[in-house]
Amino acid sequence: MSTPTPAIVVSGLVKRYGAVEAVRGISFSVRAGTTTALLGGNGAGKTTTLSMLLGVLEPTAGDVRVLGVDMRRDRRAALPRMNFTSPYVDLPKRLTVAENLRVFADLYGVAQAAERVASLAREFDLAGLMRQPYGTLSAGQRTRVSLAKALLNGPELLLLDEPTASLDPDVGDRVRTWLTGYQRRTGCTMLLASHNMVEVERMCDDVVMLREGSVVDQGSPADLVARYGRGTMEEVFLDVARGRDDAAVPLPQRDPATPSSRAGERGTDSP
């Protein structure tokens, strides 16, 4: 049986800003059809790494392959098949919700754009907001619009930077449910940068731990909790962020082609 091609392969990735090395030769892969968390404290290199995966930032050194495409040579071959969302990246504030979604549908070359926008408006409960300027929306409403934007082109790969930051528990739970539902329906791959460890344990098959621009550990949430002798991923995160990862007990490495046991454990809550 052949091993599926990973959706993301990062090899020796480096990003320098003058004398500052934000990302220090990291390597990892993301299995197709799974959700992987990219974790680390502020300044660990998460957003810089996501930006290089998107082709927004040019790496100083190293290679990035996304959906089988070398992003340094031919990123335009991959970009129509992927998308991105972050609460820290606003859409045009003076445009209405409907105008924003139509503009991005055109940019992504979405077929039957009007029908796709209407479908996502129903799915994300945006019907009453479509005529409102994006800049007048609450944080939760903006998140729903940004997620609708990110799903316009039916992406095979979805990059998520803190998708539930600043949301109340109810909206955060709805967002996680929408994302896991989309993945189940489509088989897409998701790479998630988050500080919400409950979110990571609920959604993710694999975790890549970063500190000061370097990969310091990786594995499934269950493997990491066991390796550090902790009860939750939040405790593991604190150990790594505070430099206590040297106490981790190595576990046998899982074959990356073997489906993680986490895949069948995700929550099935309905919004």
The two three-digit tokens of residue 200, written as one number: 């990571």
Q: What contacts 240, CB < 8 A, 6 or more positions away?
A: 39, 40, 209, 211, 216, 217
Residue 245, pLDDT score: 62
Whether 255 shows a pLDDT value over 80: the answer reads: no
In angstroms, the CA 111 to CA 108 distance is: 9
Whether 150 shows a pLDDT value over 70: the answer reads: yes
Whether 208 shows a pLDDT value over 80: the answer reads: yes
User: What pLDDT band is residue 113 in, cutting at 50, 70 and 90?
Assistant: very high
Round the average pLDDT of the chain to a whole number and report it. Answer: 88
End-to-end CA distance of the chain: 38
**Domains parsed from the chain with CATH numbers:** 8-90+104-111+155-252 (3.40.50.300)
pTM, two decimals, is: 0.85
Whether 253 shows a pLDDT value over 70: the answer reads: no
Whether 249 shows a pLDDT value over 70: the answer reads: no
CA 141, 144, 145 angle in degrees (round to 5)?
A: 90
Whether 262 shows a pLDDT value over 70: the answer reads: no
Task: Convert the pLDDT of each residue in 63-82 to its tens digit.
Answer: 999 999 999 899 999 999 99
Output 160 or 5, whichever has higher pLDDT: 160
Whether 192 shows a pLDDT value over 80: the answer reads: yes
The two three-digit tokens of residue 207, written as one number: 């975790």
In angstroms, the CA 238 to CA 258 distance is: 28
Whether 13 shows a pLDDT value over 70: the answer reads: yes
Residue 265, pLDDT score: 44
